[in-house]
A = this chain, B = another copy of it.
């Protein structure tokens, strides 16, 4: 055991790597994240304050032995200390040249604030005087000294911090000042003395004067903090194993407040908002690190450092570049300049906006730092999504923050920006939104199923309770409403119709703005902007994604304008044109209703003849836009009663009309009313007749086509007449006719025979050959299960995953998504909404069966997906895994799908 190495100087990282044999992950396990990071910087020649790491293995050994350092550890530690003293030319406890060190915890996985740290170890009365002599700054030294006593007291000895804080408060009071910064060196000296008294009275021992003793006790305290209640709770919550242990990092203290040749700052290697390749950050001359973070003094833009401390700035630039080369990522750095000497204290991957993320990834490829594949893998689909939705204007946000308009933060559970007037209940939210056309933010302590109508009417949702899976969060995400939940600082008083944060009062009807991306709440109405999807870096990134992906990305579009957008966004075809959407338009609906009401085939024929030119023009428009790309047109799908007025409404209208007869003045009026009643009654009767108990499982899709073959024949005629017409214009048309809701091969066989006959007839009439296909939706479990039989009659498959999810799960989407599905996600019964993210175990399994069987029947059968899942990254990945040929999604989701499809390839390779 004595041979075992428990302590590594930062410079000994390669020995550690050899020991763990598990690459960098292994070193992180042994050194913890912080230690590994410092050692790593040291290795590549970045100046970090000298120091060393006591390993996590030492921690475990210490804890397992019941609080005894393992054999040899302490000696190794003292030896490492000597090495540090040698390079720093300082000595722990030497008043002439005192070395101060920090003793910090650091586990493999970040556990922010959960474990202990002691700074300024090495100070005692003697070394303090020595420091004063060296720095000529008694206030700084005694402030540092009292911090040591305070931290040591609370962290190592477990004295409640209040006892210390009380002393400072009294001192402020007596001095007649309101902030610590106004206290003088003498104050701090006196406070230090008082702290020692507190220390003694609580622990019965003196504050250890011996720096070595300080170091030993601090090290033990850090080890023990691994099993502190906070740390254990955190690990349980974050699913971090309990047997990892924490390392202890002993690092030389450096100070940025040692005069005008000292400074401290933070900097990003590139701009975190725009991604521009230039150092961005803030710094302060003659200041401590915490001063920059705390915002006590106004920081300076890092650009100024180029003039004020040119050498250090140049070095920082070089370091930034070295770090980026090393980590191949944009870095967020902390540094301190002590008497002209630059020390790096930390570096980590920098946070950035979506736009910056895209630009940085692209720039880094062009700088040769990373590969295209890495760039594509780094940008998240959510970041691409950002380019497609309104966001608050960055300058407006900054201004609002500076003016103190940001009143609360909460969880960023549903992205996007929303402004509106506050409404404290769902009914009011709905009334204001619908009747007064107001933009509303619905604010509730938490939401319940009864609130859904208000949430749907609102622009955004804000609560002061609840988490990421709360009802409010789930419903908001469901319906794409920006939302901030759990903004605990808000005091909501429903009775008084207002909420307060500190002194700020927000009354019902006041404007607020919600940033669902950041989880922030602002007073007033912030300016919004739509980021530009034509961002050149995004275009480049997506073009690389296109090179990588094997999955096609098509779009669902019913009208030429949508198809145009889809094509601009990179869609390679139309995967779904819902041909019945056109029937709902004002100039067509009367014909369609007449078709439904027709008793005789001849009347039906007339209405269909009237509809034909409309449909032909609709399809011709689509074909023109999609010149050279395939267009899948799905034949009519919904049940007929959807095209008629609602029966309950009709009943209301009828009883109104009947009442009016009672009050009619003339016989003429009565006659007119009776005629109206007769017509309405006919519609009511037909609508009632068509009404189904479960229309989702009713007379729709191919069933309708078989029931009224002349309807789908008209549609096919319109498709092929349009195709011929547009072909004559010199456009390349690739129409694919899709038959929906097939459950049995015979349905497809029968319907396709009729329809293909019609298609051939049109082509013969027009003397033009069209390159066409007939295929089917796979949107019922039976279709998937019998895909071999169905595949014999289909030239392509398209998965309708909305319907397929409904029937596989037996869940009616319309009813459930504002009902029990939310309950299921709140309670964790379902991890995801299966209508948003494909259910791999169930629906995915059926898809796999269908693809395998379909391709048995027809080699290389083209399979795609046209449900809404086609725009969900996780689902796109599943589609790639399943070997689909393409996904088809809303035009707005096309860029996301392109990226997700490429990432799926990269993940599969990894």
Contact = CB atoms under 8 A, between A and B. Distances in A.
Interface in A264-284: none
Contact of A829 (B746, B789, B842): B746
A863 to B, nearest CB: 19
A277 to B, nearest CB: 48
A881 B399 CA distance: 74
B829 A810 contact: no
Contacts of A819: 699
A810 B750 contact: no
B655 A812 contact: no
A808 B785 contact: yes
Contacts of A780: 808-810
Contacts of A811: 697, 743
Contacts of A829: 706, 744, 746-747, 750
A829 B743 CA distance: 11
Interface string A745-763: 0110010000000000000
Interface residues of A, number: 53
Contacts of A123: none
A695 interface: yes
- Most chain B CB within 10 A, of A651, A706, A782, is at A782
A703 interface: yes
A820 B697 contact: no
A744 to B, nearest CB: 6
Interface string A357-393: 0000000000000000000000000000000000000
Nearest to A815: B692
Given A781-B781, A829-B747, A829-B750, A695 B697 contact: no
Contacts of A655: 655
A563 B746 CA distance: 41
7 contacts: A655-B655, A693-B696, A706-B824, A781-B808, A782-B808, A782-B842, A807-B810
Interface in A843-893: 843, 845-846
A230 interface: no
B746 A694 contact: no
A628 interface: no
A807 B694 CA distance: 11
A558 interface: no
A67 interface: no
B695 A693 contact: yes
Assembly of this chain: how many copies?
A: 2
Contacts of A501: none
A887 to B, nearest CB: 22
Interface of A: 647-648, 651, 655, 692-699, 703, 706-707, 741, 743-744, 746-747, 750, 779-782, 785-786, 789, 803, 806-812, 814-816, 819-820, 823-824, 827-830, 839, 841-843, 845-846
Contacts of A648: 647-648, 651
Contacts of A698: 812, 815-816
Contact of A814 (B694, B746, B803): B694
A287 to B, nearest CB: 54
Given A785-B841, A785-B845, A741 B810 contact: yes
Contacts of A743: 808-811, 842
A120 to B, nearest CB: 52
A820 B808 CA distance: 22
Contact of A697 (B692, B806, B841): B806
Contacts of A812: 692-698
A639 to B, nearest CB: 9
A749 to B, nearest CB: 8
A829 B803 CA distance: 22
Contacts of A744: 809, 829-830
B707 A820 contact: yes
Name the residue in A694, A780, A806 with the highest tally of chain B Cβ atoms < 10 Å from its Cβ: A694
Contacts of A750: 827, 829
Contacts of A697: 694, 696-697, 806-807, 810-812, 815-816
Nearest to A693: B814
Given A648-B651, A694-B696, A706-B820, 9 more contacts: A694-B694, A699-B816, A703-B820, A706-B829, A743-B810, A750-B827, A780-B810, A786-B841, A786-B842
